[in-house]
Structure 1
Amino acid sequence: MPANAGRAWISDKTDKPKDTKYVIKRLWYYISHYKWMLILAILLTIASNLFALIGPMLSGYAIDAIEPGKGLVVFKTVFYYAGWMIAFYILSSVLSYLLSVLMLYLSQKIVNKMREDVFTKLVDLPVNYFDRNQAGDIISRISYDIDTVNTSLSTDVVQIFTSVITVAGSLVMMFLISPVLVLAMLITIPLSILYTRYMAKKVRPLFRKRSAKLGELNGYIEEMVSGQKTIKAYAAESSVINRFDNLNEEAVNAYYDAEYYGSITGPTVNFINNLSLSLVTVFGAILYLLEYMTLGNISSFVQYSRKFSGPISETANIISELQSAAAAAERVFKLVDEKPEALDKPDAVELSEVKGDVSIENVSFGYLPDRMIIKNLFLHAKPGSLTAIVGPTGAGKTTMINLLMRFYDVWQGSIYIDSKETRNLTRNSLRKAYAMVLQDTWLFQGTIFENIAYGKENATMEEVVSAAKLVGMHSYIKRLPKGYDTVVNEDGINISKGQKQLLTIARAMLLDAKMLILDEATSNVDTRTEIKIQKAMRKLMEDKTCFVIAHRLSTIQGADNILVVNQGNVVEQGTHKELMEKKGFYYKLYQAQFE
């Protein structure tokens, strides 16, 4: 959308953060699409960890085959249990590998679905969303934030599944070996759980802030990259660098705080778990001396205790990644939950057989409730007429176009096309009735032919060439290495700005539309080219209604009707000759351009 005086940049940062349950519920929506893969992943996790849990028990049996004293080792028994241990560990490793591959595939499926939903939502969002949010921040959500979720799903979720099964299995095996030692070890477990929960609440807001700051930084970088020529023209490099340094420092500090508090959780929980191991060692020695346990039992118990406490420590270590993923997912879901452009009325009708009779009756509108841009506007454009809209910056010219196209709905009054109120029409049919050239040109990476034919399906080469000739681009295009098959670089950076504008005008001319809107469409071409375009447009758009916004008043002298807009009101209207004779506001604007 072109910039305008009425645009309101409104931040979304005031929205309340969602709780963890909300994020998990939304993630489950995506995971549930692949529930059979998830069930298989759970079965693989259970089998892999159960096989791994058999190892310490077999190790204990092997140790018990060793009796105190020299040479009292039953090697046959030791090798027997050692062989089974190797077999179970190999089987566990194979299943773990299959699980990792499956989770990687599953996470990619989920992320693919999330990106699809986000992009679909972007297409359905109203224009005002893009007026309120930076492009860089939106891109950050669809790339960085979703990648963060992907990493967590492919690695952290597997780790959580594994931890739950390992902890539960180890606890059962320890109870079977010695309930007394389990009680000694469990003394420190509540400390680990309470500390982990406390840090989770403390860390999550930090990761939410980190994602937001990275989004702001990406948004600023995107703006500065696209505005390099302007920055250099005004020698504003130092101020841009200073602003970047401030945003970069804020992002780095936010990143450091999140990672620092996330990283100290693991070592602290490890320390608590090591205390439990010390207690197990002391009480195990006592029970051995009292002949309540064998050395093999103690060895197995210690291994199970490590398996029990290890996942708790690992869970604490990945808490930062989980919190980062939760914060990233929250930003993604916030975009997905944005209200789309309002649906057409149930009884909305298609606009067909358009004649191009446009009426604006008593329309009032503002981008903000307390700032009206247009007040009590009346306009009638007859079919086939050329209506020019002129006025100072901020007068409401572009806003009128936004309302004609229903990018925004009027607050008061009505707009009619062929006596049909636009809110009773489907947006799709309404917008297809217009061909539009914006002030900001847009070309995509593709051939010249594809860019001109963009708005018309099955356009022929003859039609494209005809449109190019009418705007004076044909001879230039033929001189290019591959003519109409020449590829335009991304954003058209291998052709001049004026030539880009001419291509977008040719694109609009090719459409079979009954109405045309030019929003400062000739602002990037010279006056002679502008006159040629106006003549070509008049010839091409016979019997079609045209709306032209222009700052150079010399280019619209032949308009059937000129609307002079000031502070949201049409202060004068008429032909160029009539307005000049009145010597009013238009006369002053015209004279000011030639003084």
Structure 2
Amino acid sequence: MRRSQKFEKPQNRKGTLIQLGGYLMRYKWQLLAAITLTIGSNLLALVGPLLSGYAIDAIELGTGRVDFSQVFYYAAWMVVFYIGSAGLTYVLEVMMIRISRQVTFAMRKDVFNKLMDLPVGYFDVHQTGDVISRITYDIDTVNSSISSDLIQVSSAVITVLGSFLMMLAISPQLVLIFAFTVPASILMSRYLVKKTRPLFSRRSRKLGELNGFVEEMVSGQKTLKIYDQEEHTIEKFNIKNKQAVNAYYNAEYYGSMIYPTINFINNISLACISVFGALLYLAGAMSIGQISSFVLYSRKFSGPINEMANIMNDLQSSLAAAERVFALLNELSEARDTDTMIDLSSVKGDIVLKNVRFSYDANQVIIKNLSLEAEAGKLIAIVGPTGAGKTTIINLLMRFYDTQAGTISVDGNEVRGLTRDSLRKSFAMVLQDTWVFHGTIFENLTYGKENATMAEVVAAAKAARIHSYIAHLPQGYDTILRDDGTNISKGQKQLLTIARAMLLDAKMLILDEATSNVDTRTEKKIQEAMRQLMKDKTCFVIAHRLSTIQNADLILVVDQGDVVEQGTHAELMKRQGHYWQMYQAQFE
């Protein structure tokens, strides 16, 4: 067996149990009822072996010497007790299923709410498939454990204690056998569990990685096929799949050693009981019925121990899954607004960045010492080579990230002193990566303004040059868009997102390559319409096609995190600097 790497070891098993217990305690009265049913069911079942011993003692030595009235009497009571135990067990099972359903609902709700509170940076470093795996597979694994394993564990505890007390009452001498076998079982269980625990954590993680890879490949199918990467992707999938399968196999294989090992020790105890029970019978210290009852109780005593060893794999798998879920829940949420923060109201749109420094990690500074001013109502274009920090500027304006040094202010208010909601609602934003959800076109367009009228929606759609396309659809604005708008083109999706942004009453607009998926003719029409609709609004436009920003009030040329040039198109062309070189390279 390969030695588990350090990072594969579970880090906070105690904390996981405490958090899981917190979910269960939300339903403490139902749990109390379940515990009561568990106790009642197991106590009724524990009476059976005692009555069986009484029935056997009604059989005397010799042919035909049986007191059938006594046998039937005790047998009848055994049936009554076992029926009662089965009935309580059924009610218990139903109750635990309901509790697990409620816990699963609450946990999944909390995880999704947490995803809404997490900063953008979390999703930049975590695979989407892995996040989905936590909210689906991992929570389902925990749910399965709550509905079944908890019942078995609680029943095992009661059965073991009850059986021990009954055996102690029948023959204290024979109970001494368990003074050797039980510690051996416990020590062996702890040893094996300690060895297999990291394997179950690795299994959950590898499955999450596999899901993340599959999600990426499915979403990028067209690109994959364009570059003829099917075979290479299959090879990479096979590696990921093999790692996941091997992790699953190792966890199950080494976990499967627990049950036969513990069962072997318990069978040794049964053999010892048979030998020493016979000696006690010969000495007149026990009857045949008592020996029979003791053997049955010993099986009830050792059976749960065997079961515990068997379900230990499931428990470890569930705890490993719970660790992944709670690791997400314990992530730092986006910083909450404080009482000292103010709402940004009566927005004009004056934006100033002064000596801004920012890096996503300590090893690479993206923005070194950036200063710029954007006057209200002006169209500001940001251009520069890839990796110069253009999109990072937008992330800082929206406070998806905060600066490490320097200040950003809107209308004279430093953004750290503004509530995030009021700041972000002051911006309308259209990204290069378009996003629409499963729903009608009307619902998608009114996503940021749910009270918008049909007239407003149509006006925005006309301005974005998408109304004609929508009007020719059979259901018009009631047409259902499938997941991520797979039933429309990328250009049409981008026009929809532009129309959605136009509906907002925001005083500031951000366009990050917003027209990259439309043709040049349509782009010019949209620019004209936007210019008209966004009058008196501060607009930030990130563009690679310099032909689309020639009418900008101010063009900022960003390179290596600094503004190296700024001015109008005509002014920058006269200087024949960075902008002029970019322009010449693009139009040669």
Q: Which residue of 1 aligns with 2:316?
A: 323
- Per-residue CA distance 1:453-493 (angstroms, 9 max, x = gap): 11002111111111000011111101111000000011000
Match of 1:167 among 160, 166, 174: 160
The residue type paired with residue 111 of structure 2 is V
Which whole-Å CA distance do the structure 1 matches of 2:9 and 2:363 have between them? 25
Specify the alignment match of 1:10 in structure 2.
none
| Residues 1:244 and 2:204 aligned together | no
Name the SS for the 2:134 alignment partner: helix
Which residue identity is paired with 1:123? M
Partner of 2:426: 433
Counterpart AA for 2:479 = T
Aligned pairs (5 A) from 1:126-205: 126-205=119-198
The partner residue of 1:530 within 489, 503, 523 is 523
Question: d(CA) in 2 for partners of 1:49 and 1:390?
Answer: 74
Give the letter aligned to residue 520 of structure 1. E
Q: Which residue of 2 aligns with 1:357?
A: 350
Aligned twin of 1:504? 497
Q: Name the counterpart of 1:333.
A: 326
Shift of residue 14, structure 1, vs aligned partner:
5.0
Q: 8 Å contact 2:141–2:321 — kept in the other structure?
A: yes
**1:585 — aligned with what?**
578
In the alignment, which of 399, 410, 419 is matched to residue 417 of structure 1? 410
**Alignment-derived partner of residue 215 in structure 2:** 222
Match of 1:313 among 306, 322, 325: 306
Higher mean C-alpha displacement, 82-91 vs 17-26: 17-26
CA deviations over 1:221-241 (Å, ceiling 9, x no partner): 111111010010000111111
Partners of 1:384 and 1:545 within 8 A in 2: yes
Is the Cα–Cα contact under 8 Å of residues 448 and 487 in structure 1 kept in the other structure? yes
CA shift, 1:575, in A, is 1.0
SS of the residue corresponding to residue 180 of structure 2 reads coil
> 2:292 matched to 1:299?
yes
What secondary structure, in the 3-state scheme, does the structure 2 residue paired with 1:429 have? helix
Unaligned 5+ residue runs, structure 1?
1-12
CA RMSD of aligned residues (A): 1.1
2:37 touches 2:88 (CA, 8 Å); kept in 1?
A: yes
Which AA in structure 1 matches 2:197? Answer: R
> How many angstroms apart in 1 are the aligned matches of 2:483 and 2:412?
42
| Per-residue deviation, 1:369 | 1.8
Q: Which amino acid aligns with 2:65?
A: L
C-alpha distance in 1 between matches for 2:365 and 2:84: 72
> Within the alignment, does 1:370 sit opposite 2:363 as a pair?
yes
Question: For residues 28 and 55 of structure 1, do their structure 2 counterparts lie closer, same or farther at Cα, with a shift above 3 Å needed?
Answer: same
Structure 1 counterpart of 2:249, from 256, 266, 270: 256
Deviation at 1:184, TM superposition (A): 2.3
Q: Residues 403-552 of structure 1: matches in 2 within 5 Å?
A: 403-552=396-545
Q: Is the 8 A contact 2:13 2:323 kept in 1?
A: no
Could you tell me how far apart the structure 2 residues matched to 1:188 and 1:491 are? Answer: 61
Aligned-partner residue type, residue 96 of structure 1: T
Distance 1:20 1:84 in 2: 45
Matched residues in 2 for 1:540 and 1:194: separation? Answer: 75
**Could you tell me which amino acid in structure 1 is paired with residue 446 of structure 2?**
A
SS in structure 1 of the partner of residue 318 of structure 2: helix
Q: Does 1:118 align with 2:96?
A: no
Shift in alpha-carbon separation, 1:504–1:14, aligned structure 2, 3 A: farther
Q: CA deviation at 1:18?
A: 2.6
Amino acid at match of 1:505: I
Q: Contact 1:184–1:283 (CA<8 Å) still a contact in 2?
A: no
Whether the 8 Å CA contact 1:277–1:305 is kept in 2: the answer is yes
| 8 Å contact from structure 1 (residues 203, 261) kept in 2 | yes
| Contact 2:9–2:198 (CA under 8 A) maintained in structure 1 | no
* 8 A contact 1:471–1:506 mirrored in 2: yes
- DSSP 3-state at the match of 2:176: helix
Equivalent AA in structure 2 for residue 223 of structure 1: E
Paired amino acid for 2:420:
R
Amino acid at match of 1:151: S
For 2:510, the aligned partner's letter is: I
What SS does the corresponding residue of 1:416 show, helix, strand or coil? strand
Does the Cα contact within 8 Å between 1:381 and 1:387 map onto a contact in 2?
yes
Deviations 1:476-518 (A, max 9, x none): 1011110000000110000000000000000000001000001
Give the whole-Å Cα distance in 1 for the aligned partners of 2:108 and 2:518: 39
CA apart distance, 1:186: 3.5
CA distance 1:15–1:388, change in 2 (3 Å): farther
CA contact (8 A) 1:185 1:280 kept: no
Take 1:571 and 1:347, find their aligned partners in 2: how far apart are those partners? 36
Partners in 2 of 1:147 and 1:296 — Cα distance? 47
Could you tell me how far 1:187 is from its partner in structure 2? 2.4
Question: Which of 73, 76, 80 in structure 1 is aligned with 2:73?
Answer: 80
Q: Deviations over 1:311-363 (max 9, x none)?
A: 00000001111111111111111111101111224310000000111111111
Q: In 1, Cα distance between the equivalents of 2:482 and 2:448? A: 19
TM-score normalised according to structure 2 size: 0.98
Q: 2: distance between equivalents of 1:514 and 1:259?
A: 59
CA contact (8 A) 2:9 2:201 kept: no
Report if aligned partners of 1:185, 1:279 keep a CA contact under 8 Å in 2.
Answer: no
Q: Secondary structure at the match of 2:563?
A: strand
Q: Counterpart of 2:28 in structure 1: which amino acid?
A: K
In the alignment, residue 220 of structure 1 is paired with which amino acid? F
Q: CA contact under 8 A between 2:58 and 2:66: conserved in structure 1?
A: yes
Q: Does 1:275 pair with 2:268? A: yes
Return the alpha-carbon distance in structure 2 between the equivalents of residues 22 and 364 of structure 1. Answer: 37
For residue 177 of structure 2, give the secondary structure of its aligned residue in structure 1.
helix
Q: CA deviation at 1:261?
A: 1.0
Comparing 157-166 with 278-287, greater Cα deviation is found at 278-287
- Residue 31 (1) aligns with residue 15 (2): no
**Structure 2 CA distance for aligned equivalents of residues 207 and 422 of structure 1:** 45
What is the aligned partner in structure 1 of residue 550 from structure 2?
557
Q: 1:71 aligns with which of 57, 64, 69?
A: 64
Which residue number in structure 1 is paired with residue 375 of structure 2? 382
TM superposition shift of 1:185:
3.8
For 2:305 and 2:517, how far apart are their aligned partners in 1?
A: 64
- The residue that corresponds to 2:3 in the other structure is none
Q: Which amino acid aligns with 2:389?
A: G
- The secondary structure found in structure 2 opposite 1:278 is helix
Taking structure 1 as the reference length, the TM-score comes to 0.97
User: How many residues are aligned here?
Assistant: 583
Q: Classify the secondary structure of the residue corresponding to 1:188.
A: helix
Equivalent AA in structure 2 for residue 208 of structure 1: S
